[in-house]
Structure 1
């Protein structure tokens, strides 16, 4: 795709509208880039200053040295088209327009400006993100091309040290939400490869970004926050491509309520589209529906640690030093489609000698605090991992202090290398940062939400089943057959005939039918349709036909 390499891996950057004032967006952007060891060259374009944060300033884009890859534009909206044109004339291959004042505003002026940007970018072959975007983050390049405060003073740096996991890429039409994933996920020792915010999407959109990042070697899971998409037909081929690469996509699609749909339109000028139709496409394509940012982060964490060891089914073992936590976790697992089977006799016979009389090896396996104090989690986990009746293991314990994780780190490292099924830790206390860090280095994700831990296992099991049965055979419908912005659903009950009209509007194939109101019309319809036909009463007052005789 045109110049996406220049966009995501620039060797030099020009900050158009740079400022030394850290209280405004233009100054915060300069600070964010300078705070991390980005290895490329950075130039500032400003008529008001000669130097900003040690950067020499150029009075115009024309005055910049040759060979700039990326321009980040933060000047007032009315001057942006001319600046983008100057970038094209200078041979700059990519641009991010942070400035607002385009199609998200009421009236034609902003929309006209945005159309100008699209035409300029197309004419010069510029890879354009925005306008009204919050920039992006490439952690491998240590490039924080954003004004988001979430990338400033990050403890431990942009990438966690000592991890062997792949990265999580975030693609969001909302800048604030996009970087919130990083801010909430980084303390969980999650490695993010990219955070990309697309704003109004004058040219490139979230699907373009996903298409590129599926091919990124450093990305293993993609999280997307979507308000609406221009070309819904592209979802299926994109999902098929991701499935073939073994890279799960988790999507939060907002705009289900009337208030949310209105907010979407005013925020990034997107059309929300039919929530039900998106749901149908997600299920068909193996896309995981995101509930909220914490759920998506936890699902991503489970996948990146155990992407190559997905559960073979929905049978889960629970290990805990707390009987109450075990019972609570078992209820939650069952509620989210998992099964908590009794452990087999052979496995129980191996666990029982390790337990005090008041412990139990049934499942949940309540080892009691005494066992954790004496031998830790690893010995029992190793035995449970070898059981043929379990597809995954959840560990629910207190991680308020890292003592026992530190003591047993070597055993946990060996266990993580040996197990062939996912093992997820979930703290029922607040998780100590050091405990999270050590578990991550050992090879285990550490969550703090029991429901999310259950959902993560269920998502992994479902994704494996999808991959083994459907991933390479996703039916991709022609562009004209998929229209996720079809008629609104404004009734609580639809007849079969009415429902099929909606399915047809969304591009979902249904058997042909005809609505008739007399025996003569029915006979004529049967002759026209040919073959064997059935007659069904159509009434919203009779949803279950068997009840009417």
Structure 2
């Protein structure tokens, strides 16, 4: 591999300034490398209106500092948003690697033929109208399908929302999630990839996850999947990139056995899959078919497949983020025993109930450990599990000694600190002590703040790399996702990839 620091050229001014990361040598670039690190890009159907769907990509690319060459294509305008426009992809100054297609559905087949003739490697079809909704345009979908085997060009979409490659500073999309100037929030960088049939939900996962301190590298929507599909792209991501966790938001798969093969591939690589299924109800299945032409009933055996192949499954938006945070930040547990340290007796009780409901254990602690923990609390505290440190710790006192005693006891496989982090600076005095504990080979620590956390506390938690939750059920289902099943031998745990 060679490192290319910058790619600059004669495209749109201001889009050639950002590093694009590790790259393959010239002439050896894979399909995925081209798709995620395009050196040249055409936007076919680019609009002069910067807030329209066809106009947003230019602004997003410029704001992200995309380093490649960008060519707006619009046959009715000489310029687009102040930049030279070209009447056709065939008339560009050079063959481009990726083309974003944003024209009316009836024009797409001809545009794709032009793209193939012009040497485009991958066409991303964001246009809709290919049999979804009330079924109009199904013949256009068939026409696109007929183009695929006649050319080496690959097609993402149609009816997708594009993609975002954070390592390449390349938002090839119109998604508002990537518009930090308007949302006030950036998508955090990391090693989680999201692949989704639904573009809106796929990008939303990154927005929700970023609020929980989860970092992402690639966000890809596949829409109707006329060619490239979620499973092929996920396989390539796990093999070819530093992605450690792939989130799949699925409305259906034509060949469920390929999902099983993907799960086996992930296990061999020491990586993880998290699947969210859409269309579990009759009404939802109708919606999936209308949305992206996927048959949601093809996933009726998903739960059994996940259990067999070790795939983690999430049933809703909140559960998805709760589980994703644990998979991203918490090492695999050595067992199912949870130790709870609480500054609110009620919060500890609630958490204990949630752990039980999730199939986790909250064991009673040994007399020796209870006696040691009693030294960290007033007489009216309780050293049983859940351990009630009492509210005095909210105002003062260090959490670290009690955490160290419980985590180092050998009696639990994870420790949850349940406390209020509503006060700014509450964790300041414990920052270094907690960091030292995290460097030791102790069971994982998770934080449950039963009040809305202050931003300063959130920054400390995220700086420490700790998973944190604002609900007892979130903690429980997160830990359950990284705990061994009852039939799995316990006693070993896997650290999250560095």
TM class, shorter-chain normalised? Answer: 0.7 to 0.9
CA deviation map 1:43-84 (0-9, x unaligned): 211223333345332221011132421111111111111111
List aligned pairs for 1:8-407, cutoff 5 A.
8-107=36-135, 110-153=137-180, 155=184, 157-159=186-188, 166-273=190-297, 276-306=300-330, 309-407=331-429
Contact 1:3 1:126 in 2 (8 A): no
Query: How many Å apart are 1:372 and its aligned residue?
Result: 4.2
- What is the TM-score with the length of structure 1 in the denominator? 0.80
User: What is the rounded CA distance, in whole Å, between the counterparts of 1:123 and 1:463 in structure 2?
Assistant: 48
Which of 471, 474, 485 is 1:449 aligned to? 471
Select between 275-284 and 290-299 the one with higher mean Cα deviation: 275-284
* Separation of aligned partners in 1, 2:32 and 2:241: 15
8 Å CA contact 1:359, 1:366 repeated in 2: yes
Deviates most, 148-157 or 195-204: 148-157
Which is richer in helix? 1
SS at match of 1:23: coil
Change (3 A) 1:445 1:81: same
For residues 12-37 of structure 1, the C-alpha deviation after alignment (integer angstroms, 9 at most, x for no partner) is 21111111313321012222222212
- State the structure with more CA Rg: 1
* Shift in alpha-carbon separation, 1:418–1:50, aligned structure 2, 3 A: farther
| 1:7 and 1:95 in contact (8 A); partners too | no
Aligned Cα root-mean-square deviation (Å): 2.2
Would the alpha carbon gap of residues 194 and 434 (structure 1) be closer, same or farther in structure 2, given more than 3 Å must change?
farther
**3-state DSSP of counterpart to 1:100:** coil
Deviations 1:308-356 (A, max 9, x none): x311111001111100000010011001100001223343333222211
Counterparts of residues 503-514 of structure 1 (less than 5 Å): none
Q: Which runs of 5+ in 2 are unaligned?
A: 1-28, 492-498
CA separation of 1:404 and 1:376: change in aligned 2, threshold 3 A: farther
TM-score, scaled to structure 2: 0.87
C-alpha distance in 1 between matches for 2:441 and 2:113: 56
Residues 65 and 348 of structure 1: CA distance in aligned 2, closer, same or farther (over 3 Å): farther
* Structure 1 unmatched runs, 5+: 161-165, 470-549
**CA distance in structure 2 between the aligned counterparts of 1:438 and 1:124, rounded to whole angstroms:** 52
Number of equivalences: 461
Instruction: Please identify, of 83-92 and 47-56, the stretch whose mean Cα deviation from structure 2 is larger.
Output: 47-56
How many angstroms apart in 1 are the aligned matches of 2:268 and 2:405? Answer: 34
Report the CA distance between 1:397 and its aligned residue: 1.6
Is the contact between residue 128 and residue 158 of structure 2 (CA under 8 Å) also seen in structure 1? yes
When structure 1 is superposed on structure 2, of 47-56 and 243-252 the one drifting more is 47-56
Q: Distance in 1 between matches of 2:465 and 2:486?
A: 20
* CA offset digits 1:482-533 (Å, max 9, x no partner): xxxxxxxxxxxxxxxxxxxxxxxxxxxxxxxxxxxxxxxxxxxxxxxxxxxx
Query: Residue 456 of structure 1 aligns to a residue in which SS?
Result: helix
The 2-side partners of 1:175 and 1:214 are apart by 20
Change beyond 3 A, Cα 1:251–1:435: same
1:63-107 CA-to-partner distances (Å, cap 9, x unmatched) read 113242111111111111111111111111011100001021445
Q: Describe the SS at the equivalent of 1:354.
A: coil
Maintained 8 Å contact 1:127/1:204: yes
Cα distance 1:110–1:41, how it changes in 2: closer, same or farther (>3 A)? same
CA 345–217 in structure 1, closer or farther in 2 if over 3 Å, else same: farther
